[in-house]
Amino acid sequence: MKNHSISFIGGGNMAGSLIGGLIADGYAPNLLTVADVDGEKRTQLQERFGIRAAASNAEATRHSDILVIAVKPQMVEAVARELASEERDEPKQLVISIAAGIRTNSLAMWLGGKVPVVRAMPNTPALVQSGATVLYANEYVNVLQRETAESILRAVGLTQWVADETLMDAVTALSGSGPAYFFLIMEALEQAAGSLGLPPELARVLTIQTAFGAAKMALENTSGPEELRIQVTSPGGTTERALQVLREGNLCDLFRRALQAAHERSVELSKLLGKDSHA
Ligand SMILES: NC(=O)c1ccc[n+]([C@@H]2O[C@H](COP(=O)([O-])OP(=O)(O)OC[C@H]3O[C@@H](n4cnc5c(N)ncnc54)[C@H](OP(=O)(O)O)[C@@H]3O)[C@@H](O)[C@H]2O)c1
């Protein structure tokens, strides 16, 4: 599984974390290549990880088993059309796209047709190897390629598959945008603790460790967050009083509406980014 050559098109934040994760996972640096329009970024990654740097996307593509497209969504069409015009060693090479909102049918069409494409939706904690990535494979991806794609994204955290690509918009609303929801909750807790007189540094460290501890408990416990919440809520106690206020403020309904709004925006952006793919 760790003997495929992988080329990254785009050497930004996400590519950097994937490369770091793969090397930490035992991948040989000489199997990894990066291409980026920015020569400085290529050199930085080359020096940091001992990987190969290609002078152009075409060069990176030519001799690799797997291509990972890691440019911003607006750049994907141009990159894919450029790759489609290249003479590739292996026309059926697996293409993994981590670009938000780009559908597999758009990408396969830009790449020239019946191309095996895996679409991955990671989130920012991938930068610290604690990401949550959801994958979707088009009909041309075989079992081995699915396993390979999964093992690459597993290098930066948890992976899950969906069989229906339209669910990617809900995934974007939950785990894609989700880190920001938790950051906002942390900000709100810090501010509220400040108003109770806690010094800012103490409020911050307690907020972050509490979030981490709660997430760790939820991860390690099979009974789920609801059960954990009930366990820590003593009748007549402080937690119960606070939760009552959150309920009166309709917190659950607020999150339902927030995710709905993110979902709608994800659908809009996907349509916009793939608008010429049916031409
Ligand atoms: N960051 C996240 O947490 C996150 C989460 C989920 C999904 N994603 C997806 O991951 C992808 C990459 O995100 P990122 O944050 O890593 O972006 P990024 O840091 O901007 O990296 C993209 C890199 O690609 C380069 N590039 C632009 N056009 C190119 C071309 N034609 N050929 C080769 N390289 C080119 C950019 O160079 P210049 O800067 O010089 O243009 C930049 O170095 C995006 O599509 C995003 O939707 C990211």
125: Cβ–Cβ under 8 A, 6 or more apart, which residues?
131, 132, 157, 179
Average pLDDT over residues 72-87: 90
Is the domain of 111 the same as that of 221?
no
Is the domain of 28 the same as that of 113?
yes
Which one of 165, 196, 227 terminates a domain?
165
Residue 221 maps to a domain:
yes
Report pTM.
0.92
Instruction: Check if 9 has its Cβ closer than 6 Å to any atom of ligand 1.
Output: yes
Is the domain of 136 the same as that of 12?
yes
Which residue from 278, 273, 279 is spatially nearest to 119, judged by alpha carbons? Answer: 273
- To the nearest 10 degrees (0 to 180), the angle between helices 104-111 and 73-84 is 30
Which residue from 133, 155, 214 is spatially nearest to 24, judged by alpha carbons? Answer: 155
Residue 29 maps to a domain:
yes
Q: Specify the ligand 1 atom closest to the Cα of 100.
A: 47
What band does 86 get if pLDDT is binned at 50, 70 and 90? confident
Average pLDDT over residues 230-257: 97
Kindly tell me if the per-residue pLDDT of 111 is higher than 80.
Answer: yes
List the residue whose alpha carbon is closest to atom 42 of ligand 1: 12
CATH of residue 80's domain is: 3.40.50.720
Average pLDDT over residues 101-112: 94
Residue 1 maps to a domain:
no
- pLDDT value at position 62? 86
Residue 258 maps to a domain:
no
- Top mean-pLDDT range of 57-66, 202-211, 264-273: 202-211
Instruction: Check if 118 has its Cβ closer than 6 Å to any atom of ligand 1.
Output: no
What band does 89 get if pLDDT is binned at 50, 70 and 90? low
List the residue whose alpha carbon is closest to atom 15 of ligand 1: 13
Kindly tell me if the per-residue pLDDT of 149 is higher than 70.
Answer: yes
Instruction: Check if 58 has its Cβ closer than 6 Å to any atom of ligand 1.
Output: no
Please tell me the distance from the alpha carbon of residue 103 to that of residue 166, in angstroms, as a whole number: 9
- pLDDT value at position 25? 86
Instruction: Check if 35 has its Cβ closer than 6 Å to any atom of ligand 1.
Output: yes
Average pLDDT of the chain?
94
Q: Specify the ligand 1 atom closest to the Cα of 82.
A: 31
Q: How far is the CA of 70 from the centre of ligand 1 (A)?
A: 5
- pLDDT value at position 87? 63
Range of the domain at 200: 177-248
Q: How far is the CA of 178 from the centre of ligand 1 (A)?
A: 20
For 153-165, write each residue's pLDDT tens digit: 999 999 999 999 9
Instruction: Check if 10 has its Cβ closer than 6 Å to any atom of ligand 1.
Output: yes
- pLDDT value at position 1? 64
Is the domain of 217 the same as that of 239?
yes
Tokens representing residue 108 in the block = 């396969």
Q: Residue 113: helix, strand or coil by DSSP?
A: coil
- pLDDT value at position 36? 96
What band does 174 get if pLDDT is binned at 50, 70 and 90? very high
User: Candidates 40, 44, 72: which one to mutate for ligand 1, based on the most atoms within 8 Å of Cβ?
Assistant: 72
Which one of 107, 132, 165 terminates a domain?
165
- How many percent of the chain have pLDDT more than 90? 88
